[in-house]
Chains A and B, each alone.
Chain A
């Protein structure tokens, strides 16, 4: 077991023939992921990475039986691409693309919810279930099959948590980057719920950052609904208010969404917090094997 993707997943890639998609899909295939083909309008009928290229998503789904799409399409065209994926009724849409306008995501998120289709991202590293499937841009080598579920708003900070849990000998059940944008396709709560249900996941690492109230909402949810141990780190204690720190999501204004607020909410909900990103692995190890 795992969450979102496993060795049964059949994926297609939208924006397949682009340079980023080519690099990362070839690594995914090497990892053993079943990528069955891709979509690039105007290039239908060609083969790329020894796989068929289709004109549109519905054709690709019909020919390959895919249930998941991995999207690398540039931000300007991403709304159309995600829309097309939604209309083809895939189960899961993972959007790596950075820079999708917020209003586009508002529309797409509402539509996806209505249709019961899950979007991960945009502006995220993707999803990996070690030794089964990798759909994203994360480095495969640091992951080990294991028992920690990792959910994070950030990319390289996720790798830090992965690396530490691997070093602790715990490994990961699945790792999900939900992305740093203001309107993500999936929230912490969506992913926490899945980890709680997943028998292979024995503990959860949640990596948040300043801005918004997603971590505070997650804290409430964990208190009520999550029985497994959770360790959380929030990036940005040292960030001054009103400054934008890279991710569109990571901006604090008006005293809301500070790291301090989030740590307080998490602690109040009885969640183990770490103030240094270097302490994540050790903390989850202590929580799982007290």
Chain B
């Protein structure tokens, strides 16, 4: 799960990290009050969406003119912001962050992430902030400083020194950084984050550190124990179909091909997409129906797949281990009749009771092609999608 910048900064502030003075604007009637309350000369106005590249897309302005703030808010509230990280529809803007403009001296980078290779929390710092950190890592690896925390999740003095030296901080900034990094680690661990990125962390003209942006990913597995974070979830930033699917225990991701897929297991679902591609077609989605395949979940899966008008054929690939294929076949027949599926469906049922399943499908006289070989099944689904 992702958080908005303003939510990240709210959490930063509550953990004693330096952030700019700010106000939030949710509707046009908030605008004047927000400007008045903030009471500063120059402003940064930032549209809040779960995507990077907002600046280049016109979603961020610096201004001294109150009229410009009003125009910006009126323009963006309730519309979608399209950046290079969003799809062509963009992400809806329902909140605008109004901040005091910071006089920037230097831009730094600071990040915390769960590092799979070292099985630890990695703290990453760079004096080259404000730009794409991936390209810094690639082109100037000597400008990236890393520390891996042990399982006590405490950072040692020499590790702090390594980072603050890397960031080229002076003595008073070192003191600020020391408390900043400790607080940031506590926040990360307390709230079960999987990523925090502050890009840029800036040194302002008075020499003080300030977190000018904040990107946070939360570990979805830990949401059950993070009530405060759960309340911050903004479902309007998520794909509506994917969200709907998750409510049925289905794992669904929209893609842009023409062959709809329904598979049990995430790995096999990706494998099925791969075979479709190898057979010259394009998968319309990733859909993992999970371990408990039954009439209800198959019906919901069908509904979601056919709600995508690009889908021209469907490939169902179920490996019946614990699941009985005959039960799945009955579910398929029921769902296709119930919803009235017209497009061709290729079914590959393998394993437990697949012979009985085949007979059920054949008897149904629906638009079903039963095929036990995975390669041939994919080929058939691709041919039917053209």
Binding site for B on A (CB under 8 A): 23-24, 75-76, 99-103, 106-107, 109-111, 137-139, 141-142, 152-160, 163, 180, 182-183, 207, 209-210, 212-214, 217, 233, 235-240, 242-250, 254-255, 259, 275-278
* Nearest CB on A from B201, distance (A): 19
Write 11 A-B pairs (CB below 8 A) sorted by A numbering: A103-B219, A137-B291, A137-B321, A153-B267, A154-B265, A156-B265, A212-B117, A238-B277, A243-B286, A247-B267, A277-B271
In the complex, chain A residues whose CB is within 8 Å of the CB of B286: 239, 243, 245-246
- What size tier do the contact residues of chain B reach? 35 or more
In the complex, chain A residues whose CB is within 8 Å of the CB of B225: 76, 101
B356 is an interface residue with CB less than 8 A from chain A = no
Give the contacting residue for B374; candidates A180, A212, A249, A278; CB below 8 A.
A278
6 closest Cβ pairs, A-B complex: A154-B267, A246-B266, A156-B265, A139-B321, A157-B267, A110-B151
A75 to B373: give the CA distance in the assembly, Å.
36
A24 to B264: give the CA distance in the assembly, Å.
18
Interface string of B90-115 (1 = CB under 8 A from A): 00000000000000000000000010
Docked-complex contact B151 and A248, CB < 8 angstroms: no
A24 to B255: give the CA distance in the assembly, Å.
35
In the complex, chain B residues whose CB is within 8 Å of the CB of A110: 119, 150-151
In the complex, chain B residues whose CB is within 8 Å of the CB of A248: 220-221
In the complex, chain A residues whose CB is within 8 Å of the CB of B54: none
In the complex, chain B residues whose CB is within 8 Å of the CB of A160: 268, 271, 319, 374
B273 is an interface residue with CB less than 8 A from chain A = yes
A160 to B319: give the CA distance in the assembly, Å.
8
Docked-complex contact B189 and A103, CB < 8 angstroms: yes
Docked-complex contact B253 and A244, CB < 8 angstroms: yes
Chain B residue nearest to A113 (CB atoms) is B119
A246 to B220: give the CA distance in the assembly, Å.
12
A255 to B132: give the CA distance in the assembly, Å.
13
Chain B contacts with A in 266-282, Cβ cutoff 8 A: 266-271, 273-278
* Nearest CB on B from A269, distance (A): 17
In the complex, chain B residues whose CB is within 8 Å of the CB of A137: 291, 321-322
Docked-complex contact A180 and B278, CB < 8 angstroms: no
Q: A243-B253, A278-B373 are in contact. List 16 more A-B contacts (CB 8 A).
A: A75-B224, A99-B221, A101-B222, A102-B221, A111-B151, A137-B321, A154-B267, A156-B267, A159-B321, A163-B319, A233-B271, A238-B273, A239-B273, A250-B267, A259-B274, A277-B271
A210 to B269: give the CA distance in the assembly, Å.
13
A152-B267, A157-B265, A183-B119 known; A276-B151 Cβ under 8 A: no
A249 to B288: give the CA distance in the assembly, Å.
15
* Nearest CB on A from B223, distance (A): 9
Docked-complex contact B116 and A214, CB < 8 angstroms: yes
* Nearest CB on A from B379, distance (A): 11
Interface string of B280-295 (1 = CB under 8 A from A): 0001001010010000
A160-B271, A237-B274 known; A276-B265 Cβ under 8 A: no
Docked-complex contact A75 and B270, CB < 8 angstroms: no
B141 is an interface residue with CB less than 8 A from chain A = no
B350 is an interface residue with CB less than 8 A from chain A = yes
A207 to B276: give the CA distance in the assembly, Å.
18
A103-B189, A154-B268 known; A238-B276 Cβ under 8 A: yes
Interface string of B205-228 (1 = CB under 8 A from A): 000000000000001111011000
A103-B219, A237-B274, A276-B274 known; A23-B322 Cβ under 8 A: yes
* Nearest CB on B from A202, distance (A): 24
B121 is an interface residue with CB less than 8 A from chain A = yes
Interface string of B361-386 (1 = CB under 8 A from A): 00000000000011100000000000
Interface centre among B189, B319, B373 (most CB of A within 10 A): B319
A138-B321, A139-B322, A182-B116 known; A245-B269 Cβ under 8 A: yes
Interface string of B30-67 (1 = CB under 8 A from A): 00000000000000000000000000000000000000
Give the contacting residue for A156; candidates B134, B151, B264; CB below 8 A.
B264
* Nearest CB on A from B109, distance (A): 14
B78 is an interface residue with CB less than 8 A from chain A = no
* Nearest CB on B from A218, distance (A): 12
A233 to B278: give the CA distance in the assembly, Å.
14
In the complex, chain A residues whose CB is within 8 Å of the CB of B134: 254-255
Docked-complex contact B119 and A106, CB < 8 angstroms: yes
Give the contacting residue for A142; candidates B267, B269, B351; CB below 8 A.
B351
* Nearest CB on A from B319, distance (A): 5
A207 to B268: give the CA distance in the assembly, Å.
11
Docked-complex contact A250 and B270, CB < 8 angstroms: yes
B182 is an interface residue with CB less than 8 A from chain A = no
A101-B192, A276-B375 known; A141-B116 Cβ under 8 A: no
A58 to B276: give the CA distance in the assembly, Å.
50
Docked-complex contact B116 and A275, CB < 8 angstroms: no
B352 is an interface residue with CB less than 8 A from chain A = yes
In the complex, chain A residues whose CB is within 8 Å of the CB of B121: 106
